[in-house]
């Protein structure tokens, strides 16, 4: 797939991957072997009928292709862009054994983008009769949007409550424009509105309404509030000016458009040297965003390249854009001057025994720490669920890690009629896994109310 | 969208807006705040709920116009609209019958004292209110307070109203003349710090006002050191034990964007 030149793109927020042309899409689609028992479909967490939609692409029936995808996936333009296809649909494509797998994600993206360019919302062919029952969806991220799409198509009245002023969750405040333009998310949300989903923004459940108050007004509740509470390192100097959580940094730029300050009024402060701490996709997004704001960026990660949790493609894009990786280093302290970040002390590490998760644990190397000059630090070491709903709702069971306890198959919580899925139940995971679990929960809600 | 019902000028650059927000008014309790975004390109700013009327479905905000965002908000008049108002946010004030409670308000911090004063009085406390202003033209709501407290003391820096001096001077006088069980201070950080330094062993509650973005606990922009730990003012506060605050850190973090704030100040107003 064509991409923007790394030199050029590291100075703008436009999409890196430019997407297939019609010819490229048709040509790629013709590589699909149309398996009788397609493994790709099982590899997809929302079980898209992949061979069927690819067949329609091959025959240039793009509207039909979109209809097939939309039967099981309400956010194809998102998933085509951000899914880790290498470990899902494309990872199990039969062609992958000997050749390149069919580029399923790129084809999905092409079909969804075709729909958006032609202002074509897929027909709601499987919309059932109105059931006159009301479901509240808490949180308008990938899980909430998926649950809302499933339930509205099954004939329920759906109201989505969102704490921020714009729906999309991590898709609009977290994942940057150069990977997923916010207008792509807006289009999907508009599609849901046209189907009849009502969106209530600026409503913080636990404060504006409690969950118990929602239970009085709705027949069922779906919680998809994600894992938005940032973790900090707990080292000296972390509250100095110039230290951001990745959530704050990305929210300022993606949601509030601080990259266009002062046209947009939210500022962001990025010095000449930025250190991003962490190795996941959020760390890559933060580093690449800081680079686009003009900084020299170093990613400090306490394990080695092999353990990097970010998608290989994201780390590769980051390197192409000039981001430096400092593997096997762990921050110990941030030192300031006049209240501002000045330098960071990092300890060289080496890999020791494997831990419970099977990854080799980083241990301090027998040598002196180093000091790195830095003006801005972005902490991207993970997030946990926001405790607001559990702390204001009696009887909702949560784990020690703060995740809501659910029945794995049905997403049912300890409270009758209340279901949950996505990061709030698993801790920070992927967009597509949240969507897959949300589909199951929506199905369980339907079974309960039918 | 939230309609502005009423606008009042409260002297100098102090302004009062009554806003239609039934869901927030219904849920609001003293001590909580809202996040406001005036229009599409505006930033999100936190403002303490200065009063609320559950029957009318309105909340009152008192705003000091100090930069672009607050000035933009203070240009709104009855009938205008605010794009986003989210809340109520933060923990409500801890409310019991403590005995004698002294409230100290400084500048526009006077306003958010009001719902607390009413609630503490209704809970059986002896309520003494100290309102500290720079000069007479900055004093507001004096009569409203009088009907909800046992005693009111006014101080002004220039002596143009009440006693010349600071709110802390009046507080010392009260502490010398009677047993005080709790002090609650809302105002600029320097003022709250001065109060906390004077109250010794008396429990002292302050309402912190750091920079916020979302106001729901997802970013940590508002983090501060309180009670010996890093806390997020938006979800763990905004009220904390005033004796445990790292005030230097709070003041430093409040100034993080002072250069940027100057850049947008005085810029052309709301784009058409």
**CB spacing of A247 vs B264 below 8 angstroms:** no
Cα-based torsion angle of the residue sequence A21, A26, A31, A36 in order, rounded to the nearest 10 degrees: 130
Token pair in block for residue B231: 């806390």
Contact A171, A78 (CB under 8 A): yes
Residue B248 β-bridge partners: none
Beta-strand (E) ranges in A306-393?
Answer: 324-326, 329-337, 340-354, 360-364, 370-373, 376-379, 383-384
B2-9 sheet: strands from edge to edge = B51-53, B58-64, B14-20, B2-9, B81-82
Percent of all residues in chain B with a pLDDT value above 90, rounded to a whole number: 92
**CB spacing of B68 vs A265 below 8 angstroms:** yes
Instruction: Answer whether residue B207 shows pLDDT above 50.
Output: yes
pLDDT, tens digit (0-9, with 9 covering 90-100), for B130-148: 999 999 999 999 999 999 9
Residue B89 β-bridge partners: B33
Token pair in block for residue B8: 């009042």
Chain A / chain B CB contacts < 8 angstroms: 117
**CB spacing of B213 vs A230 below 8 angstroms:** no
* Confidence category of residue A131, pLDDT binned at 50, 70, 90: confident
Contact A410, A444 (CB under 8 A): yes
Whether B91 contacts chain A with CB within 8 A? no
CA distance B258 to B67: 10
Say what the pLDDT of residue B262 is. 85
**CB spacing of B41 vs A263 below 8 angstroms:** yes
CA distance B60 to B50: 5
pLDDT, tens digit (0-9, with 9 covering 90-100), for A209-252: 999 999 999 999 999 999 999 999 999 999 999 999 999 999 99
CA distance A19 to A326: 32
Say what the pLDDT of residue A200 is. 98
pLDDT, tens digit (0-9, with 9 covering 90-100), for B48-83: 999 999 999 999 999 999 889 999 999 999 999 999
Say what the pLDDT of residue B271 is. 42
Phi/psi of residue A240, nearest 5 degrees: -65, 155
CA distance A63 to A100: 27
Mean predicted confidence (pLDDT) in A259-266: 94
**CB spacing of B41 vs A265 below 8 angstroms:** yes
Residue of A nearest to B85 (CA): A202
Among the partner residues A203, A242, A263, nearest to B23 by beta-carbon distance: A203
Task: Burial-class residue A131 by CB neighbours within 10 Å (0-12, 13-18, 19+).
Answer: middle
Residue of B nearest to A164 (CA): B214
Which residues in chain A touch residue B85, judged by CB atoms under 8 angstroms apart? 202
Q: pTM (2 decimals)? A: 0.95
| DSSP 8-state secondary structure symbol assigned to residue A287 | H
Q: Mean pLDDT lowest for which of A1-5, A158-162, A340-344?
A: A1-5
B95/chain A closest Cα distance in angstroms = 18
Instruction: Answer whether residue A197 shows pLDDT above 60.
Output: yes
Contact B182, B136 (CB under 8 A): no
Say what the pLDDT of residue A122 is. 63
pLDDT, tens digit (0-9, with 9 covering 90-100), for A397-422: 999 999 999 998 899 999 999 999 99
Whether B70 contacts chain A with CB within 8 A? no
Residue A284 β-bridge partners: none
Say what the pLDDT of residue A402 is. 93
- Residues in contact with A108: Cβ distance below 8 Å, sequence separation at least 6, in sequence order: A48, A53, A69, A73, A76, A79, A80
Whether A159 contacts chain B with CB within 8 A? no
CA distance A378 to A282: 10
Mean predicted confidence (pLDDT) in B145-158: 95
Whether A207 contacts chain B with CB within 8 A? yes
Say what the pLDDT of residue A130 is. 85
Instruction: Answer whether residue B25 shows pLDDT above 90.
Output: yes
A262 cis-preceded (ω within 30 degrees of 0): yes
Interface test with A, best of B49, B81, B214 (most A CBs within 10 A): B214
Residue of A nearest to B246 (CA): A239
Whether B220 contacts chain A with CB within 8 A? yes
Among the partner residues B220, B224, B267, nearest to A245 by beta-carbon distance: B220
Say what the pLDDT of residue B72 is. 93
Number of Cβ within a 10 Å radius of residue A168:
27
pLDDT, tens digit (0-9, with 9 covering 90-100), for A44-70: 999 999 999 999 999 999 999 999 999
Among the partner residues B41, B216, B225, nearest to A163 by beta-carbon distance: B216
Closest CA to A255 of A157, A313, A319, A182: A182
pLDDT, tens digit (0-9, with 9 covering 90-100), for A5-56: 999 999 999 999 999 999 999 999 999 999 999 999 999 999 999 999 999 9
**CB spacing of B216 vs A245 below 8 angstroms:** no
Q: Is the ipTM of this complex over 0.90?
A: yes
Whether B98 contacts chain A with CB within 8 A? no
Scan residues 219-248 of A and list those with Cβ closer than 8 Å to B.
Answer: 228-230, 232, 234, 238-239, 241-242, 244-245, 247-248
Whether A127 contacts chain B with CB within 8 A? no
Instruction: Answer whether residue B268 shows pLDDT above 50.
Output: no
Task: Burial-class residue B29 by CB neighbours within 10 Å (0-12, 13-18, 19+).
Answer: middle
Whether B42 contacts chain A with CB within 8 A? yes
Whether A377 contacts chain B with CB within 8 A? no
């Amino acid at each position: 797939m064509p991409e923007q030149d790394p030199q050029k793109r590291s100075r703008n927020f436009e999409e890196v991957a430019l997407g297939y042309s019609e010819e490229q899409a048709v040509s790629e689609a013709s590589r699909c072997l149309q398996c009788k028992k397609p493994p790709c479909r099982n590899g997809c967490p929302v079980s898209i009928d992949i061979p069927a939609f690819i067949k329609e692409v091959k025959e240039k029936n793009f509207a039909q292709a979109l209809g097939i995808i939309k039967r099981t996936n309400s956010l194809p333009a998102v998933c085509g862009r951000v899914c880790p296809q290498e470990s899902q649909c494309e990872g199990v494509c039969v062609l992958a054994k000997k050749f390149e797998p069919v580029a399923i994600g790129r084809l999905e993206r092409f079909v969804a983008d075709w729909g958006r360019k032609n202002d074509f919302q897929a027909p709601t062919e499987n919309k059932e009769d109105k059931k006159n029952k009301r479901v509240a969806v808490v949180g308008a991220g990938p899980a909430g949007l998926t649950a809302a799409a499933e339930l509205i198509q099954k004939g329920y009245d759906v109201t989505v409550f969102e704490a921020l002023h714009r729906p999309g969750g991590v898709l609009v405040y977290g994942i940057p424009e150069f990977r997923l333009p916010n207008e792509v998310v807006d289009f999907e949300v508009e599609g849901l509105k046209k189907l009849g989903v009502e969106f209530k923004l600026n409503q913080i459940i636990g404060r504006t309404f409690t969950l118990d108050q929602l239970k009085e007004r709705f027949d069922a509740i779906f919680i998809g509030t994600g894992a938005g509470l940032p973790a900090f390192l707990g080292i000296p100097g972390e509250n100095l000016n110039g230290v951001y959580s990745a959530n704050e940094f990305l929210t300022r730029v993606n949601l509030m458009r601080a990259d266009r300050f002062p046209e947009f009024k939210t500022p962001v402060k990025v010095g000449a040297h930025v250190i991003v701490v962490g190795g996941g996709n959020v760390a890559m997004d933060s580093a690449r965003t800081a680079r686009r704001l003009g900084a020299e960026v170093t990613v400090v990660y306490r394990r080695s390249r092999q353990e990097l949790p970010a998608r290989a493609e994201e780390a590769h894009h980051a390197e192409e854009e000039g981001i430096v990786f400092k593997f096997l280093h762990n921050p110990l302290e941030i030192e300031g001057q006049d209240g501002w970040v000045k330098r960071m002390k990092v300890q060289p590490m080496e890999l020791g025994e494997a831990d419970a998760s099977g990854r080799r644990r980083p241990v301090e190397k027998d040598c002196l720490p180093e000091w790195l000059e830095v003006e801005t630090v972005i902490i991207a070491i993970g997030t946990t669920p926001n405790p607001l709903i559990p702390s204001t709702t009696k009887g909702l069971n949560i784990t020690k890690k703060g995740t809501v306890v659910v029945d794995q198959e049905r997403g049912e919580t300890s409270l009758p009629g209340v279901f949950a899925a996505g990061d709030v139940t698993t801790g920070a995971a992927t967009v597509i896994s949240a969507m897959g679990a949300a589909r199951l929960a929506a199905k369980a809600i339907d079974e309960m109310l039918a | 969208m939230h309609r502005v019902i009423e606008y009042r000028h409260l002297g100098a650059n102090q302004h009062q807006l009554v806003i239609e927000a039934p869901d927030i008014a219904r849920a609001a309790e003293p001590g909580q705040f809202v996040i406001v975004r005036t229009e599409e390109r505006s930033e999100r700013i936190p403002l303490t709920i200065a009063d609320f009327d559950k029957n009318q479905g309105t909340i009152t905000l008192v705003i000091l116009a100090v930069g672009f965002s607050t000035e933009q908000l203070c240009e709104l008049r009855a009938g205008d609209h605010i794009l986003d108002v989210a809340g109520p946010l933060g923990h409500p004030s801890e409310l019991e019958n403590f005995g004698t409670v002294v409230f100290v308000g400084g500048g526009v911090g006077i306003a958010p004292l009001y719902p607390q004063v009413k609630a503490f009085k209704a809970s059986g406390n002896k309520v003494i209110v100290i309102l500290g202003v720079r000069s007479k033209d900055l004093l507001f709501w004096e009569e409203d307070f009088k009907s909800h407290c046992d005693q009111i003391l006014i101080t002004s820096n220039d002596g143009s109203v009440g006693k010349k001096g600071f709110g802390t001077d009046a507080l010392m006088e009260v502490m010398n003349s009677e047993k005080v069980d709790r002090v609650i201070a809302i105002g600029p950080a320097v003022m709250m710090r001065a109060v906390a330094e004077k109250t010794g062993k008396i429990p002292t509650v302050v309402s912190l006002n750091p920079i916020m973005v979302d106001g729901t606990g997802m970013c940590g922009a508002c983090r501060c050191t309180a009670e010996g730990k890093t806390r997020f003012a938006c979800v763990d506060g905004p009220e904390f034990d005033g004796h445990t605050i790292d005030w230097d850190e709070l003041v430093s973090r409040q100034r993080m964007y002072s250069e940027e704030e100057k850049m947008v100040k005085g810029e052309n107003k709301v784009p058409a």
